[in-house]
Structure 1
Amino acid sequence: MGKILVIAEKPSVGRDLTKALPGAFAKHEGYLESDSHVVTWAVGHLVQLAEPDEYDAKYKKWRMADLPIVPPKFKLVVRDERSRKQMSVITRMLKRDDVDEVINACDAGREGELIFAWTFEKAGAKKPVRRLWLSSMTSKAIKEAFSSLRPASEFELLEQAARSRSEADWIVGMNATRAATIRLRSSFDGAVSLGRVQTPTLAIIARREEEIRAFVPEPYWLVDATFEPVSGDSGRRYVGRFHAGAHPRLKTAEEASAIVAAVEGGSGEITKLEKTTRREKAPLLYDLTSLQREANTRFGFSARRTLAAAQRLYEEHKVLTYPRTSSRFLPSDMIGEIKPIASLVGTHKEYARAAAYVTGLDVLPLGRVINDAKVTDHHAIIPTNSEHKLDKLSDDDRRVYDMVTRRFLAVFHPDAVFENTRLETTVLEYVFRTSGRVLMEAGWRGVYDEAGLDEAKASDDDENDNQTLPKLEKGENVSVREVASQEKVTQPPRRYSDASLLGAMETAGKLVDDDELREAMKDSGIGTPATRAAIIERLIDVGYVERDGRSLVCTEKGLGVISLLDDHALTSPSLTGDWEHRLSRIEQGEEARQRFMADIAEFAGATVTTLDEKLKDIRIPRANMGPCPVCGHDIVENRKGFSCWGREDPGCGFVIWKSKAGKTLAPAVARELISKGRTEKAVTGFKGRSGRSFRAKLALMQTEEGRWRVEFDEPWAREGAKPPEGEDPAPAATAEAGGSAVSAQSEAA
């Protein structure tokens, strides 16, 4: 009897799989072998779609006449030399005469299916295949999966959807990027990167940035008063805000001052008091996107950082189930595991009380937990039914584990119950409104001890909402103890964070907060839970977006690209959401892959034509930065910097290079440096030697030789020390004015 070849996605997974298989395994270069099994692995994607010049040498040159490029059959190539070594091992194993069968043990999802399919195809293998499908990496789960291997034919549609997604990204990205770059290469430094998913995501961020820049702040005034009932116990003070009808904002300081003068030192009456009870359901279990959003909100984790922690908790520590899931429900066949899992996590004291409640229930409330129709590839992220050694978890891993465990326990707890109080206090003809909220029954919130569950910050108009109110009665007379007005200004829309952008991507750019409504829109989101973090990082890597704390800021380059594309369909979140929905339909057998790919090819051709016509004669005007501080000539922006010299007039040679520590300096930054000598606020988006981003102030400094150089203003940034926030500031490079960039290390030397 021949041997069975098992192909995993990573070496660590391959080693874990051998523990569930019979016999002793001997270690070899790139694989492990026993008497009955050979276990080898990819290292992520070993194989990728070929570049255009693999089809025809003419595509080495980027020419509009050669577009669109739509291969009749896609070619596969090994990614690089490192991949080639392991690919040769897998190919050799697949062609062994003593291997009769192959088990696809790559990650159980669309991407894992594609990794195996491409590897198998590139190796030219023909042997029968079965599928190992895992949602948990515990020994028990692995053994059960090996005992119930599934035929590869069950996953043919999943493979079709995976191939369609990748090929569609290639066709749209390759053609749109080439067409835009050909027409805009004189305007932008480097290629203009466009893509089926990244461009509509960039459009969401860019349009918010445009709203912020177009926003004109307007002043307004609010009037707040502190009241105290005339009779009864003292100390029953509360705060109310003046409202004219439903509006608290006053347009002039005179109006506010008149109200303050009228009510100051006066008395009034509680003319309205309403109490209502509101029940708040526990949130649904986590899928990857909701986990990433909450970790960003609570801890400031980027989407990529959260995914990395969740993946470690699944693969290495084996304490969480498969994280790259889009489901927030469990299948009915897992009902029997719920109490055992709760009992297991309850052995840790911080979860003991909540776990005891769940295990003590005679009947589990399953309405918001079990839904077979909403579990496709994988169920929601929950703790595994195995020993959890929490002392070995890093700080990031511990936080993500805690989120998932508390959410799992909370979903089986009753509603939280609040008493909401709304009252109106009338002084003369002026009405002041007050809102209060008291938690009457903790319910599921008790699982958290309220930790990390602060209410969303109220707006300026409602900052007195949710105060804890004393006992008050309608009709009570009150005295005005304090009253004052305060001037405010209207605020622009907030920039997207990872959390809010992930939410917008999940609902194709629509603002949706309700859990159930978000569930209904998932199939039409931009990208998938597994790819959204990479898309955000891609936008940062190509210079379209920068991080500023938790905010994602669109750069001048990103704004320029979206502005030039105008309302092209490639920028439409709804179009991309529709494509994602069609990929889901392919996966479910409801749409033909051929029809989808034909539509993608047609779209790519139309995009090339549109970009050719739209961008043919466009030249982005270069910014004039004002007079040179050395010679007085105008400093003008060019592709690589801001200088007073040009083709006709060499000027004095003064130049500020755009590239600095992994960032392209915007015209506004250069203008501030030229006019003021330094930036008033820290500039974001620099990259340290470790690759981590940081922010720092800049200064224009003159060397002893008389040359000018842009330097970091703060000593910690210049010297590669650690900043107060603990970010990694060590600059990768320092941009000079009038000279080439030099490394921070050589500067220090």
Structure 2
Amino acid sequence: MKSLIIAEKPELGRAIAKAIDGPDKEVHGVIVKKNVVITWAYGHLLRLAEPDEYDPKYKKWNKEDLPICFDNWKLVPDGSKKDRVQQIITLMQDCDQIIHAGDPDDEGQFLIDEILDYAKNTKPVKRVYINDNTPSNIKKAFHQLIDNDDKLRAVGRSAYARAVADYVVGINYSRLYSLALRRKGMSVGRVQSPTLGLIVTRDELIDHHKKQKYYEMEVQGDVEKQDTTITFALKPKNDLLDDGKHILSQKIMQDMCDDILKEPHRKMKVDEKLMDVKPPLPFNLAKLQAHMNTKYGFDLSKTDAITQTLRDKYQAITYNRSDSQYLKEEHFTEAAQVLTHVMKKLNETYPVDYKIHSECFNDKYVTAHHAIIPTMSDFNIAALLPDERKVYEEICRQYIMQFLPPVKKRQVSAVIPTEYGDLKATSTFILDEGYKQYFKNNKEEKGDNEEVDTGKFDLPKGNYEVSLHDGIVNEKETNPPKRYTQASLIKDMTSIAKYVEDKEIKEILKKKDKDKKGENGSIGTSATRSQIVETLIKRGYVQMKGKNIISTQLGKDFYHLLPEEIKKADLTAKWWVIQEDIKEGNADVSTLVQSVLDAFTPHLKENLSNLKAGGEVPIDDDREAIGVCPVCGNKIVENSKGYGCVNYRNGCKFAIWKDDQFFKNIHKDVSKPMAEKLLKDKYCLVKLMEQEEEVVKILQLGIRNGRAVYRLLDKK
């Protein structure tokens, strides 16, 4: 029996080939081994058809055509991937059975199923689940093949339903609000709009922040018979806090301080605990993107692109768009070989201990993917570009850390109970720097049980008598939250549930991610988040100022115009519930799509004519530039009447008209080369009549009423 294995990506296809005994040779993305043929997709080879591919009338945006939706959304080859689709179809015709090797998640199921459906396949299909690309794991997986039956295909239909629903949202809401605002390109999306909401909400909290004074108390205490003085801070009881966090009255805080000092002799309890601060887990894509943005200023898409190069061109790292920070136990057994190879390649040596079993090695936490780690690939590290090397080195070092000892700390805490709350003091001592002595630049997050130091003191555990004195009430001011960076934004995209007020929605979002240790109530995926941020920037909704990502006036206004159902993360939660029903056979694709239409249709009856959004219209013009606008610096492009600025919607009216009267008077057509010279040089020689060799020297003087103004300098 001849089998065709269709993998989701080249890395997996080649790994499968290596796990099958016998020599192999790859030709045009196909590997043949005995009676097995292995090929692969490159992500989604098919896309949903555009509305105008159903009917040309949809090319023009009209409110009367909304809502746009079709009973059966067609899948068509995506651009240059058409040849690959046809190649796979030809291979299917020449086999007896097909083995579906998509990733073991909803999207992986859909990605191969869509190819089978497009080809109208009737041959038997088996399903293989490969969580890890190690040869032993792949061999084990192929001994556990199951039928790609309707229950499995329902998982793929769930992903297809989400893709269609996302498309219906994007097409209809984007067209409706673009038409209402008379601005083309005002895009709306299930993930894009709530992400914009994170930034807008953060910026408005900062813009509207009013500093609030609050008060804290410090008290000195002399420990009897110990020749030790400790500085204590009051942690007030919750019912004394004015805003849930602070005491806002100086008088109340001063009165409490005076009352405490009326009884200066107090009993104090000292405890201590030993703590191990373990190295951070290996990277998933979101953590890596955040790390590279913080440390090197790389934007999210840059890190994403570099990891793709490291994986595809050099096979230097494992699957790069992972949402997991955990690894299989098999990786633990291979680590000594991998890291010996990696340290030699980096020309770095660390005292790794391969007996250390990091918490990252846990089979039950590895879902469709595992953490991003280096491979045994024997590529030439000198061939890496400087930024590629930075990303590779950070991935390697994060993995090396797993085999270095933790930071060992001893924390001493002192507590004095009072009628207003506890007076507390904490002092921490580093006993062993552990992995930190080699990786000092890696920030560690404060543990849940770790207190902030109030000053150094050191006493054995026990009970002591203390004499309090010198109480001080300190005035402080509340600070606004920090602006988003791309690093902090992507972290919040992976845990947006913490901002959701509806308890039911919050729990659904968390339940959606219950098997993903790197996500906790998220929107978007590792593969799409950087694209979402890039789209927000491209649309002009947000802009970069240094490392900060800040909403524009257009972004703020547009976000506030959007209806509630599309601007919150709630939609992701509600769709997930329906998708789970689709998997169980209790709903179908139309159920999810109809929920979108039910929410959208009422907006067609609303009067949106008075809607306005401030700020500049985002410039999205892919026409060839023939020069730079001398007024605003944007590009000049050719149109039927002349050569104008793409920034015309924002008020720039600069143009060189083809029927310009000045050039008519000297019997010359304004050609594209002439316009390019005028824009580039300001002074230029223009040949008017080749047969008479008549030449005119022209000076572009400036702008008047938006038009370029010229003066004839010389005529020979």
Aligned to 2:540: 543
Amino acid at match of 2:513: K
State how far apart, in whole Å, the 2-side matches of 1:67 and 1:307 are: 36
Aligned to 1:522: 513
1:199 aligns with 2:197: no
State how far apart, in whole Å, the 2-side matches of 1:737 and 1:114 are: 59
Amino acid at match of 1:395: K
State how far apart, in whole Å, the 2-side matches of 1:70 and 1:555 are: 32
Q: 1:18 to 1:71 in 2, by over 3 A?
A: same
Q: From 562, 565, 570, give the equivalent of 2:562.
A: 565
Aligned to 1:576: 572
Q: From 367, 371, 381, give the equivalent of 1:381.
A: 371
Once the two structures are TM-superposed, the CA of residue 180 in structure 1 deviates from its matched residue by: 1.4
Q: From 150, 154, 158, give the equivalent of 1:157.
A: 154
Residues matched between the structures, number? 606
Aligned to 1:496: 484
Q: From 114, 118, 129, give the equivalent of 2:110.
A: 114
Q: 1:344 to 1:24 in 2, by over 3 A?
A: closer
State how far apart, in whole Å, the 1-side matches of 2:269 and 2:67 are: 68
What's the TM-score once normalised by structure 1's chain length?
Answer: 0.64
Amino acid at match of 1:165: R
Q: From 407, 411, 415, give the equivalent of 1:419.
A: 411
State how far apart, in whole Å, the 1-side matches of 2:132 and 2:707 are: 53
Bigger mean CA deviation after superposition, 542-551 or 50-59? 542-551
State how far apart, in whole Å, the 1-side matches of 2:494 and 2:92 are: 39
Once the two structures are TM-superposed, the CA of residue 471 in structure 1 deviates from its matched residue by: 4.3
Q: Which whole-Å deviations, capped at 9, do the CAs of 1:179-234 have from their partners, x for residues lacking one?
A: 1112112xx4x31101122222222222222222221234567787888889977x
Which consecutive residues of structure 1, in runs of 5 or more, have no partner in the other structure?
261-267, 359-364, 623-636, 642-652, 671-702, 706-735, 742-749
State how far apart, in whole Å, the 2-side matches of 1:175 and 1:477 are: 71
* Matched ranges for 1:308-707 at <5 A: 322=319, 324=321, 337=330, 340-341=333-334, 343-344=336-337, 347=340, 352-358=351-357, 372=364, 376-378=367-369, 380-381=370-371, 394-404=389-399, 406-407=401-402, 418-422=410-414, 435-438=425-428, 452-456=442-446, 465=453, 467-471=455-459, 474-475=464-465, 489-510=477-498, 520=511, 522=513, 525-566=522-563, 568-584=564-580, 586=582, 589-590=583-584, 592-594=586-588, 597-610=590-603, 612-614=604-606, 616-620=608-612, 639=617, 656=632
Q: Which whole-Å deviations, capped at 9, do the CAs of 1:343-394 have from their partners, x for residues lacking one?
A: 5467569665543344xxxxxx98x97575x66544x437699799997883
What's the TM-score once normalised by structure 2's chain length?
Answer: 0.66
State how far apart, in whole Å, the 1-side matches of 2:489 and 2:314 are: 29
Q: Which whole-Å deviations, capped at 9, do the CAs of 1:285-306 have from their partners, x for residues lacking one?
A: 6684773486368636655556
Q: 1:310 to 1:108 in 2, by over 3 A?
A: farther
Amino acid at match of 1:604: L
Aligned to 1:726: none
Q: Which whole-Å deviations, capped at 9, do the CAs of 1:430-466 have from their partners, x for residues lacking one?
A: 99966323257779988987762445599xxx99735
Once the two structures are TM-superposed, the CA of residue 338 in structure 1 deviates from its matched residue by: 6.7
Q: From 215, 232, 242, give the equivalent of 2:209.
A: 215
Q: 1:198 to 1:178 in 2, by over 3 A?
A: same
Q: 1:591 to 1:569 in 2, by over 3 A?
A: farther
1:5 aligns with 2:1: no
State how far apart, in whole Å, the 2-side matches of 1:66 and 1:275 are: 72
Once the two structures are TM-superposed, the CA of residue 135 in structure 1 deviates from its matched residue by: 2.7
State how far apart, in whole Å, the 2-side matches of 1:320 and 1:52 are: 39
- The answer to whether the 8 Å contact 1:321/1:382 transfers is yes
State how far apart, in whole Å, the 2-side matches of 1:598 and 1:430 are: 57
Aligned to 1:697: none
State how far apart, in whole Å, the 2-side matches of 1:527 and 1:399 are: 25
State how far apart, in whole Å, the 1-side matches of 2:437 and 2:574 are: 39
- Please state whether the residue corresponding to 2:532 is helix, strand or coil: helix
- Please state whether the residue corresponding to 2:498 is helix, strand or coil: coil
Bigger mean CA deviation after superposition, 32-41 or 200-209? 32-41
- The answer to whether the 8 Å contact 1:340/1:385 transfers is no
Aligned to 2:83: 85
Aligned to 2:181: 184
Q: 1:451 to 1:584 in 2, by over 3 A?
A: farther
Amino acid at match of 1:134: I
Bigger mean CA deviation after superposition, 167-176 or 434-443? 434-443
Amino acid at match of 1:536: V
Once the two structures are TM-superposed, the CA of residue 51 in structure 1 deviates from its matched residue by: 0.4
Q: 1:200 to 1:7 in 2, by over 3 A?
A: same
1:42 aligns with 2:41: yes
- The answer to whether the 8 Å contact 2:162/2:575 transfers is no
1:128 aligns with 2:158: no
State how far apart, in whole Å, the 2-side matches of 1:283 and 1:664 are: 50
State how far apart, in whole Å, the 2-side matches of 1:390 and 1:437 are: 48
- The answer to whether the 8 Å contact 1:292/1:307 transfers is no
Q: 1:317 to 1:137 in 2, by over 3 A?
A: farther
State how far apart, in whole Å, the 2-side matches of 1:599 and 1:457 are: 41
Once the two structures are TM-superposed, the CA of residue 563 in structure 1 deviates from its matched residue by: 0.8
State how far apart, in whole Å, the 2-side matches of 1:376 and 1:466 are: 43
Which of these two proteins has the greater Rg computed from alpha carbons?
A: 2
Once the two structures are TM-superposed, the CA of residue 177 in structure 1 deviates from its matched residue by: 1.2
State how far apart, in whole Å, the 2-side matches of 1:436 and 1:666 are: 60
Aligned to 2:51: 52
State how far apart, in whole Å, the 1-side matches of 2:635 and 2:551 are: 17
State how far apart, in whole Å, the 2-side matches of 1:554 and 1:116 are: 39
Bigger mean CA deviation after superposition, 223-232 or 168-177? 223-232
Q: Which whole-Å deviations, capped at 9, do the CAs of 1:590-627 have from their partners, x for residues lacking one?
A: 35341x632432323431432x34462224276xxxxx
Q: Which whole-Å deviations, capped at 9, do the CAs of 1:708-734 have from their partners, x for residues lacking one?
A: xxxxxxxxxxxxxxxxxxxxxxxxxxx
Aligned to 1:69: 68
Amino acid at match of 2:147: P
Which consecutive residues of structure 2, in runs of 5 or more, have no partner in the other structure?
258-263, 383-387, 501-506, 515-520, 620-628, 637-645, 653-679, 683-702, 709-716
Amino acid at match of 1:86: R
Aligned to 1:175: 172
State how far apart, in whole Å, the 1-side matches of 2:313 and 2:145 are: 23
Aligned to 2:98: 102
Bigger mean CA deviation after superposition, 463-472 or 151-160? 463-472
Once the two structures are TM-superposed, the CA of residue 169 in structure 1 deviates from its matched residue by: 0.9
Amino acid at match of 1:291: K
- The answer to whether the 8 Å contact 2:13/2:39 transfers is yes
Once the two structures are TM-superposed, the CA of residue 569 in structure 1 deviates from its matched residue by: 0.8
State how far apart, in whole Å, the 2-side matches of 1:465 and 1:615 are: 59
Amino acid at match of 2:539: V
Q: Which whole-Å deviations, capped at 9, do the CAs of 1:42-76 have from their partners, x for residues lacking one?
A: 33333210001122222122122221122111112
Bigger mean CA deviation after superposition, 68-77 or 314-323? 314-323
- Please state whether the residue corresponding to 2:425 is helix, strand or coil: strand
Q: 1:302 to 1:597 in 2, by over 3 A?
A: farther
Once the two structures are TM-superposed, the CA of residue 312 in structure 1 deviates from its matched residue by: 6.5
Query: Considering only aligned residues, what root-mean-square deviation do their CA atoms show, in Å?
Result: 5.6
- The answer to whether the 8 Å contact 1:381/1:404 transfers is no
State how far apart, in whole Å, the 1-side matches of 2:493 and 2:284 are: 13
State how far apart, in whole Å, the 1-side matches of 2:234 and 2:424 are: 9
State how far apart, in whole Å, the 2-side matches of 1:148 and 1:329 are: 23
Q: 1:385 to 1:501 in 2, by over 3 A?
A: closer
- Please state whether the residue corresponding to 2:129 is helix, strand or coil: coil
State how far apart, in whole Å, the 1-side matches of 2:29 and 2:234 are: 73
Q: From 291, 312, 322, give the equivalent of 1:295.
A: 291
Once the two structures are TM-superposed, the CA of residue 176 in structure 1 deviates from its matched residue by: 1.2
Q: 1:221 to 1:306 in 2, by over 3 A?
A: same
- Please state whether the residue corresponding to 2:130 is helix, strand or coil: coil
Q: 1:171 to 1:448 in 2, by over 3 A?
A: farther
